[in-house]
A = this chain, B = another copy of it.
């Protein structure tokens, strides 16, 4: 009599969670320092000092009834003003506080956006590899995901395949750049082609096709890489942002949705975002952390550590003969499995205490995800183990 679907969702541990439990067990057996756990996307660089300093300041100076009290459902007006002004400064947009809805992190940004627009029978296009929870969230909203394979060399959108997959049922397209699990950043050229198809098809079908941009890794890019701000390329865009990665506060659950001011029926769309937040039980985002992110909006965690890790890992693995997709952002590297079944490859890797995640759950069998948000010495120490793994396939 309980919802079987929910039981299943609760019981079926994600593959990543399984590996996490294995890592704990194995650590107890041979010591944490002898395990090369690359399974979890949990930032390992501490939050910038601004975070804890701002918390202490708020506690000292603010009225506790206000500081810990309800804010309006869409978030504190002053904080929304600071967020919209910050975006305008960075990307030349003309957003106001009324385009911003503060959320309990990226997952909430996405479930709220999906539920705001989803109707039964709707299709949401996603590009492989994609974050597996998208499917769960879209299905929970009564719609379905349509996965489209990315170009297998560049992991950019395969525009021809995309154009074939789009249909009159397509309600939205979800993009995630920098990407989890590939680390790939969509180029401006890709974005322009994608938006051009979407505009054409919206016109053809007589209804807007929405673009949902999931971008918690926006600030985590290495080198001279531009992450296009999608509101400047496509009108019917929802931006789903989170401070989890940029400020290393993933447990604090704080992010936002931007409803583009240029969206068709923008006011209705914003109202639907408020409605969906209400229906899902999100009363407001954590009030103390609303104040904190406003005070730290121009800060980021020390990204140079991730960059160093990326360089060491990409160069090290490539030298060993592994085929890796060069990641320009996030803290993941996507690597070709040396045998067709990535699950078997990951099992072999375990023999050398290397914990990798098979790409199957991300919709990309034959690949593995390596999360390099780990201590740099783990990367250095793991390379001999990767070498032994490579030798198995010579």
A residues lining the B interface (CB < 8 Å)? 1-3, 5-11, 42-47, 51-52, 55-56, 59, 63-65, 67-71, 104-105, 107-108, 110-112, 115-119, 133, 136-137, 140, 171, 207-208, 248-253, 265, 268-276, 278-289
Q: Are B3 and A252 in contact (CB under 8 A)?
A: no
CB of A3 within 8 A of CB of B115, answer yes
Contacts of A273 in B (CB 8 A): 6, 10
- Give the distance to chain B from A341, nearest Cβ to Cβ, in Å: 27
> With A64-B248, A68-B248, A171-B1 given, is the CB distance from A275 to B111 under 8 Å?
no
Oligomer: number of copies: 2
| Cβ contacts under 8 Å, A111 to chain B | 280-281
| A133, closest chain B residue (CB) | B278
- Whether the pair B287, A251 counts as a contact (CB closer than 8 A) is yes
Centre residue among A110, A118, A274 by max chain B CB count within 10 A: A274
Q: Contacts A3-B272, A46-B65, A111-B280 given; indicate if A251 touches B116 (C-beta within 8 A).
A: no
Contact partners of A68 in chain B: CB under 8 A: 47, 51, 248-252
Which B residues lie within 8 Å of A251 (CB)? 67-71, 284, 286-288
Q: In the bound complex, do residue A136 and residue B278 qualify as a contact, i.e. CB atoms below 8 Å apart? A: yes
The residues of B that contact A1 with a CB separation of less than 8 Å are 117, 119, 171, 207-208
**Contact A253–B117 (Cβ < 8 Å):** no
In the bound assembly, the distance between CA atoms of A133 and B65 in angstroms comes to: 24
Which of B2, B47, B278, B286 is in CB contact (< 8 Å) with A116?
Answer: B2
B117, B208, B280: the one contacting A281 at CB < 8 Å is B280
10 pairs of residues in contact across A and B, judged by CB atoms under 8 Å? A2-B265, A3-B119, A5-B275, A6-B273, A10-B270, A43-B69, A46-B65, A47-B64, A133-B278, A253-B284
Most chain B beta-carbon contacts within 10 A, residue among A42, A70, A251: A251
Q: How far is the CB of A170 from chain B (nearest CB, A)?
A: 11
- Given A110-B281, A251-B288, A278-B10, A272 and B2 touching (CB < 8 A)? yes
Q: What's the Cα separation between A111 and B140 when bound, in Å? A: 13
Chain B nearest Cβ from A129, distance in angstroms: 20
Question: What residue of chain B has the Cβ atom nearest to residue A107's Cβ?
Answer: B281
A71 nearest CB neighbor, chain B only: B251
Given A3-B117, A252-B288, decide whether A283 and B107 contact each other with a Cβ distance below 8 A. yes
Tell which of B11, B253, B279 touches A104, judged by Cβ atoms closer than 8 Å: B253
Instruction: Establish whether residues A59 and B69, one from each chain, have CB atoms under 8 Å apart when the complex forms.
Output: no
Closest 6 CB pairs of A and B: A251-B287, A9-B275, A111-B281, A10-B275, A10-B274, A10-B271
**Other-chain residue from B119, B250, B271, B274 in contact with A69 (beta carbon distance below 8 A):** B250
Given contacts A6-B275, A10-B272, A56-B59, 16 further A-B pairs with CB under 8 A are A1-B208, A7-B272, A9-B276, A10-B270, A11-B271, A46-B64, A47-B68, A68-B252, A69-B250, A104-B282, A136-B278, A137-B281, A140-B280, A251-B287, A253-B286, A288-B288
Minimum C-beta distance from A98 to chain B (A): 12
